[in-house]
Structure 1
């Protein structure tokens, strides 16, 4: 088992509970994005055990983070909303240089790639103008609500795998984010299981699609990803604080987010180099 993936899963899970932050973006920072896609899409292949040793610790870490940090994230967003949002903003902005470097943008991008980048940016940024759907919190299941929550989970998981698109934001727009967070905090297992099954199915189906386009159209894929990550900043940004001290905290939080990205990326590079030595 690749037990170091537990800490990676914790980082991904922490961000997956936050509307606006994509777990796919964190996976890219950690340098495991393509391997994650390959592992999920190939889980039912003859190499299933190899993929299991990668995915199981990752899933354990995500589960620990989602259960543990749903309360923490809710507290931070409620008590220190602007500095917390700027921390997330720093995390997202910090990954852009990594994406540009990985895609070798100066050498590989042509006019059509920049066009796709701008279109992806505008499409995701437009989600900032969408309002949360007002739905009552679901605490008990019937056949109708089970089917709806299953497909909501599947749609959200598809978004989770795409850097820049937050699965939590999709649930928020659909009106099921509060239901999901409440179920996790209250250990409402029927609802957790139904949404979880939808997430699992969505992961498998969308990973195969993403793997195909990564192999077939790698430069176009990177153009779309850079656009999506850039566009997600419009969703996360909700303005500065009202006080001078609050704005100072926002700036510090933003810089701290940038530092965290570089630290994680550098640490992961050292681990990779050490494993190859």
Structure 2
């Protein structure tokens, strides 16, 4: 019982880290999911949930029952997904109300930490497939890095907070939850809906919130299946693309820039660089710990599977 409670809390904390990142412009929820080891569970679980819902909707009206849908739902690791989603939702709300204002007041220092975090995290998709990179892989990554760099340098717009616009923007922004290197909050900032979204949550604007939630569900259900297919069918090249996107998105986290994405001369360099290094070392420590844990599990598995003569 204690183990299950501890596992629930651990997964809720991991989900909370992802939810917190989604509230902060420039920080990708997908990147943080990679850091905390939730990425595969989130993508796989969401993909099976979408397939299950789709099969339930199409099969039950035809009198086939929901067995095929239940098969998909059984493939979801609910013991990880449920606490992670609970932690994600709670942390997202708290971060929007409490942490985001602090980041806005100390943007340079916050971005310095996040820049170091994401820079170190590039190792995760780079080494994730276990296959060596060839010259053309680096070229593909460079192209997508350039695209991400250009997009994250665009100045902000000011779209109207109409429910239809909110629906469409949410459908696109939520994709950042499963796409490392892209920040959902950054998309909201770029189109001018970050502050309206935060205000809607604070004021419980149910029309705005409802349009946003419906758009998010729609966008996630469509995009997650595509990403699941790509990761299962073209795993290596998909990780190459994700590595490029993450590298290019570092532009959004450069500490010395204005709200309109104009690069500024460096100021307070020693403290800012120190914070970059701190962020880098935090992820590096997490990667080393994860690799050592996998090595111990592998050794233990080999020990138990070795026949006794």
Q: 1:269 to 1:192 in 2, by over 3 A?
A: farther
Residues matched between the structures, number = 267
Q: Closer, same or farther in 2 for the Cα pair 1:14/1:273, shift >3 Å?
A: farther
Q: Distance in 2 between matches of 1:128 and 1:215?
A: 28
Greater displacement, 267-276 / 9-18: 267-276
Confirm or deny that 1:174 pairs with 2:191: yes
Unaligned runs of 5+ in 2: 53-68, 258-263, 301-309
- 1:160 shift after superposition: 2.4
Runs of 4+ deviating beyond 4 Å: 240-244, 266-277
Q: Deviations over 1:183-207 (max 9, x none)?
A: 2233333322321221122222111
SS of 1:132's equivalent in the other structure is coil
| TM-aligned CA distance change 1:267 to 1:64, over 3 Å | farther
Partner of 1:227 in structure 2?
A: 244
Map of 1:23 onto structure 2: 29
Q: Which moves more between the two structures, 81-90 or 234-243?
A: 234-243
Q: 1:5-33, CA deviations, whole angstroms, 9 ceiling, x for partnerless residues? A: 21011100111111211110111112221
- After TM superposition, the score normalised by the length of structure 2 is 0.77
1:113-144 per-position Cα deviation (integer Å, ceiling 9, x unaligned): 222101110000002331111245x4xxxxxx
The Cα of 1:97 is off from its aligned counterpart by 2.2
Aligned to 2:14: 8
Q: Using the TM superposition, name which of 180-189 and 62-71 deviates more.
A: 180-189
Q: Relative to structure 2, which stretch is displaced further, 189-198 or 35-44?
A: 189-198
Report what 1:113 is aligned to.
137
Does residue 48 (structure 1) correspond to residue 56 (structure 2)? The answer is: no
Unaligned runs of 5+ in 1: 139-144
Could you tell me which residue of structure 2 aligns to residue 141 of structure 1? none
2:96 to 65, 70, 83: 70
User: 1:1-277 residue pairs with structure 2 within 5 A?
Assistant: 3=8, 4-43=10-49, 44=52, 45=69, 46-48=71-73, 50-104=76-130, 107-135=131-159, 138=161, 145-239=162-256, 246-266=268-288
For the residues of structure 2 that align with 1:115 and 1:19, how far apart are their CA atoms?
A: 28
Q: Deviations for 1:182-234, whole angstroms, at most 9, x for unmatched residues?
A: 22233333322321221122222111100111122112111101101100111
CA RMSD of aligned residues (A): 2.6
Change (3 A) 1:191 1:56: farther
Shift of 1:84: 0.8
Q: Are the counterparts in 1 of residues 23 and 96 from structure 2 also a CA contact under 8 Å?
A: yes
> How far is 1:275 from its partner?
8.5
Relative contact order (alpha carbons < 8 A, sep ≥ 6): 1 or 2 greater? 1
Mapped partners of 1:272, 1:23: distance in 2: 24
Q: Secondary structure of the equivalent of 2:152? A: helix
The alignment's TM-score, normalised by the length of structure 1, stands at 0.86
- In structure 1, what is the Cα distance between the partners aligned to 2:174 and 2:297? 30
